[in-house]
């Protein structure tokens, strides 16, 4: 995803240099979407880690060994 975001920014710069407003607009939209996806992926990974910690704590309280998911 980082590479795609970099390519979107490169297309934005190229569009600005050669004066193609449509390329600039599409690059802006693409880059914003990529950045939102990166932020969402990070949030999901953090949430998964928190949920896994809560499940492990709950299993420890109940005296159960870790069960494979």
Tens of pLDDT, residue by residue over 5-55, are 788 788 888 888 998 888 888 888 988 998 899 999 999 999 999 999 999
Q: How many structural domains is the chain composed of? A: 1
Query: 68 in a domain, yes or no?
Result: no
DSSP 9-59: HHHHHHHHHHT-HHHHHHHHHHHHHHHHHHHHHHHHHHHHHHHHHHHHHHH
Does pLDDT of 57 surpass 70?
Answer: yes
Whether residue 66 is contained in a domain is answered as no
Residue 51, pLDDT score: 96
For residue 33, is it within any domain? Answer: yes
Q: Is the pLDDT of residue 69 over 60?
A: no
Examine residue 69 and state whether it is found in any structural domain, yes or no. Answer: no
- Flag whether 26 is in a domain: yes
Domain containing residue 53: 2-61
Does the pLDDT value for residue 62 go beyond 90?
no
Residue 39 lies in a domain: yes
pLDDT at site 56: 92
């Amino acid at each position: 995803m980082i590479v795609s975001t970099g390519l979107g920014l490169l297309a934005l710069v190229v569009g600005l240099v050669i004066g193609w407003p449509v390329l600039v607009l599409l690059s802006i939209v693409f880059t914003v979407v990529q950045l939102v996806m990166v932020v969402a992926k990070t949030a999901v990974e953090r949430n998964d880690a928190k949920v896994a910690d809560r499940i492990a704590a709950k299993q420890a309280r109940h005296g159960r060994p870790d069960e494979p998911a």
